C-alpha cells in the first residue's frame, strides 16, 4: 500500500488546551483556502502542472540510459539550495544508506557526490576521491540562471579535470533555463547535453523536474512512480474540500500556530530516510515565506536522537513551537533475550526494534501533548517512490497556501539576492564596480573582535 495518514488531534484544544487551534478558527481559515484554491485551479501555478505534464521524461530516460552504458563509477552533482536538496532527499529516502560505501549496496550504480557547498576542504576531498576514476565520472551541473557563482566556480574546476579524459563531453549534463543563461551558451559552444527547468518553476519548487528527477533516473529510481504519487496527491487536493483536504488542514494549522506566536516549526522525522525531507522543507518554507517581517522559522530535529538533545526544550521550554512529526518503520530487527540475569532489561527481550521505535515515537507525542506543546503527525505506511512524490507535492501546495494566508509572494527571494550581489562584487564581476566600492566601505569599518 501507499498511504499517508495525517493526525491533527494534538494541535486542537482537546489535546493541548489553550495552545491548540479552535475548531471555528480552523474551519474559517480552511474556508478561505478553499476559496483561494478554486482560483488556483482556474489559473494554476506552473509547478502544479508537473505531475500531469511529466516534463522531459522521455529526454531524461534516454539520456540516463545512454550514460548508464558507459560504465560510470561516480556521479558528481553541482548545485546549491533547490538545485540539490531534492536529489539529496530522494537518495536518502530510496537508496541504501551505505550506497557509497561498498559496491554490494549499489547494485551496479555509481557512487554519488552532491556538492551543495563550496567549502574548500570538502571540495578538495571529493576531487581527490573521484580523480582516479575521472574518465568514469558523470557531471551534472544545475543552475536555472546559470549565474550561481558557487555552481559555476565548481563547474570550472571539474570541467578542467574531466577534459583530460576522452569523450568527456558526453559525460557532462547541464540543467538550466530553456533559453536564457550562461549554461546554455557553454553547452552550445562545447557540445554538452542540456535538460531544462520548465518556465515559471523556481529552484525550490523544481524537485519534480529534471532538477530532481534526472539524477534519480541515473540511479535507476522510478521517476514515473514518483510522479504518479505527486499526481495522486494533486487529485486528493482537488477532490476533497474542508477538513478532508490534507493540504488545506496543514497550511491552516501552521499559519494559525504562527499567528498564535508558535512560529518555530520543528520538523521531526522518526525515520532517518526522511531526514533529507526535513531539510528540503526547511528551505521551502523559509525562503518562500520569510518576507516583510513575516514568516515562521523552520528547524529540524531527528527522532529518536533528539529526544536526548532537543525534546527537553520542546516540552518545558517556551511555548513558541509547533512540532511536525513524520513516522515510518517497516523493517523488523528482533531483540534477543540477552542479559537474562538483569531484570531491568527483561522488558526488551524477544521484542522487536520496530516496536521500540514506534513506542519512542508515541512517547514523544504523548510527552509533547501533556506539556501543551502542539504537534501534528504524518505516518507513512512505507517510504516509497510513490509516497515521496506525494509528500513533495503536498508540502509545495502547503507552502503556496500559507503564502496566501500570510500575504507574501511565495516565489521570490529578495533577501537572498542582495548577498549574491555582494559576493559577485567582491569577486570583481564587471558592472558591479559601484557595489564593490560599497562592500569595501562596509568591510573597512572598525570591527569589535576578540582573538584567542
**Do 128 and 178 share a structural domain?**
yes
**Together in a domain, 97 and 20:** no
What are the cell numbers at 263? Answer: 512560529
Say if residue 107 is in the same domain as residue 34. no
pLDDT in the model for residue 442: 82
Kindly state whether residue 37 falls inside one of the protein's structural domains: yes
> What pLDDT does 1 receive?
67
Rounded distance between C-alpha atoms, residue 97 and residue 103, angstroms? 12
- Residue 156: give the domain boundaries: 56-197
Within-domain flag for 414:
no
Question: If 0-12 CB within 10 Å is exposed, 13-18 middle and 19+ buried, where does residue 244 land?
Answer: exposed
Residue 430 lies in a domain: no
Nearest residue to 109 (alpha-carbon basis) of 166, 67, 50? 67
Gap between the Cα atoms of 116 and 83, Å rounded: 8
> Considering the domain boundaries, does residue 215 fall inside one?
no
Do 24 and 60 reside in the same domain of the chain?
Answer: no
**How far apart are alpha carbons 243 and 301 in whole angstroms?**
28
What is the Cα–Cα distance from 435 to 432, expressed in whole angstroms?
5
- CB atoms near residue 450 (< 10 Å): 4
In a domain, 240, yes or no: yes
Q: What are phi and psi of 135, to 5 degrees?
A: -80, -5
Q: Are residues 93 and 14 part of one domain?
A: no
Of the residues 178, 197, 216, the one at which a domain ends: 197
- Asked if 98 and 135 sit in the same domain, the reply is yes
Instruction: Give the mean pLDDT per block of 10 residues along the chain (452 residues).
Output: 93 97 97 96 96 96 96 96 96 97 94 96 96 97 89 96 94 94 94 96 96 97 97 97 97 97 97 97 97 94 96 97 97 94 93 96 98 98 97 98 96 81 82 83 84 90
Counted domains in the chain: 2
The pLDDT assigned to 439 comes to 81
Does residue 65 sit in the same domain as residue 159?
yes
Give a yes or no: residue 259 inside a domain: yes
CATH number of the domain that 362 lies in? 3.40.50.10490
| 403 contacts 289 by C-beta, under 8 angstroms | yes
Residues that are catalytic: 287, 308, 420
Owner of C-alpha cell 554519488: 112
416 touches 287 (CB < 8 A): yes
- The answer on 363 and 308 residing in a single domain is yes
Q: State whether 289 and 344 are in the same domain.
A: yes
In a domain, 435, yes or no: no
Whether 450 is covered by a domain: the verdict is no
CA-based radius of gyration for the chain: 24
Same domain, 270 and 316: yes
CA distance 265 to 256: 12
**Residue 138, phi then psi, degrees to nearest 5:** -105, 140
- Residue 24 sits in the same domain as residue 111: no
Q: Are residues 168 and 303 in the same domain?
A: no
Amino acid at each position: 500500500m501507499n498511504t499517508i495518514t495525517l493526525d491533527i488531534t494534538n494541535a486542537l484544544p482537546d489535546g493541548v488546551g489553550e495552545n491548540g487551534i479552535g475548531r471555528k478558527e480552523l474551519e474559517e481559515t480552511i474556508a478561505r483556502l478553499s476559496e483561494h484554491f478554486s482560483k488556483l485551479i482556474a489559473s494554476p501555478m506552473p509547478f502544479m502542472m508537473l505531475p500531469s505534464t511529466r516534463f522531459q521524461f522521455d529526454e531524461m530516460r534516454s539520456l540516463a540510459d545512454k550514460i548508464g552504458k558507459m560504465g560510470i563509477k561516480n556521479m558528481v552533482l553541482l548545485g546549491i539550495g533547490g538545485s540539490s536538496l531534492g536529489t539529496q532527499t530522494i537518495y536518502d529516502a530510496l537508496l541504501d544508506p551505505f550506497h557509497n560505501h561498498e559496491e554490494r549496496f549499489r547494485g551496479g550504480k555509481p557512487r554519488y557526490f552532491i556538492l551543495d557547498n563550496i567549502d574548500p576542504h570538502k571540495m578538495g576531498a571529493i576531487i581527490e576521491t573521484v580523480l582516479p576514476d575521472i574518465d568514469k565520472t558523470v557531471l551534472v551541473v544545475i543552475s536555472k540562471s546559470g549565474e550561481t557563482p558557487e555552481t559555476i566556480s565548481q563547474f570550472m574546476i571539474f570541467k578542467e579535470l574531466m577534459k583530460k579524459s576522452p569523450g568527456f563531453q558526453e559525460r557532462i549534463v547541464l540543467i538550466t533555463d530553456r533559453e536564457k543563461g550562461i549554461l546554455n551558451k557553454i553547452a552550445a559552444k562545447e557540445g554538452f547535453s542540456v535538460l531544462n527547468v520548465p518556465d515559471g518553476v523556481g529552484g525550490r519548487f523544481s524537485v519534480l523536474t529534471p532538477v530532481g528527477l534526472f539524477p534519480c533516473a541515473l540511479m535507476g529510481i522510478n521517476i514515473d512512480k514518483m510522479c504518479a504519487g505527486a499526481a495522486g496527491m494533486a487529485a486528493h487536493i482537488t477532490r476533497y474540500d474542508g477538513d478532508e483536504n490534507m493540504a488545506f488542514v496543514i497550511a491552516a494549522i501552521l499559519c494559525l500556530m504562527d499567528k498564535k506566536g508558535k512560529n518555530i516549526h520543528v520538523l521531526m522525522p522518526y525515520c532517518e530516510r526522511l531526514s533529507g525531507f526535513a531539510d528540503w522543507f526547511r528551505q521551502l518554507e523559509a525562503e518562500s515565506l520569510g518576507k516583510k517581517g513575516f514568516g515562521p522559522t523552520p528547524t529540524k530535529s531527528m527522532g529518536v536522537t533528539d529526544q536526548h538533545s532537543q525534546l527537553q526544550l520542546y516540552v518545558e521550554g517556551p511555548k513558541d513551537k509547533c512540532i511536525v512529526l513524520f513516522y515510518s518503520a517497516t523493517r523488523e530487527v528482533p531483540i534477543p533475550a540477552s542479559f537474562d540475569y538483569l531484570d531491568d532489561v527483561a522488558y526488551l527481550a524477544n521484542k522487536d526494534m520496530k516496536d521500540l521505535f514506534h513506542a519512542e515515537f508515541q512517547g514523544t507525542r504523548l510527552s509533547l501533548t501533556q506539556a501543551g506543546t502542539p504537534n501534528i503527525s504524518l505516518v507513512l505506511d512505507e517510504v516509497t517512490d510513490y509516497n515521496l512524490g506525494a509528500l513533495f507535492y503536498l508540502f509545495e501546495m502547503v507552502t503556496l497556501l500559507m503564502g496566501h494566508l500570510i500575504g507574501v509572494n511565495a516565489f521570490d527571494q529578495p533577501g537572498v539576492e542582495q548577498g549574491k550581489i555582494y559576493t559577485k562584487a567582491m569577486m570583481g564581476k564587471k558592472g558591479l564596480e559601484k557595489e564593490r566600492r560599497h562592500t569595501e566601505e562596509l568591510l573597512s569599518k572598525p570591527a569589535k573582535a576578540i582573538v584567542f
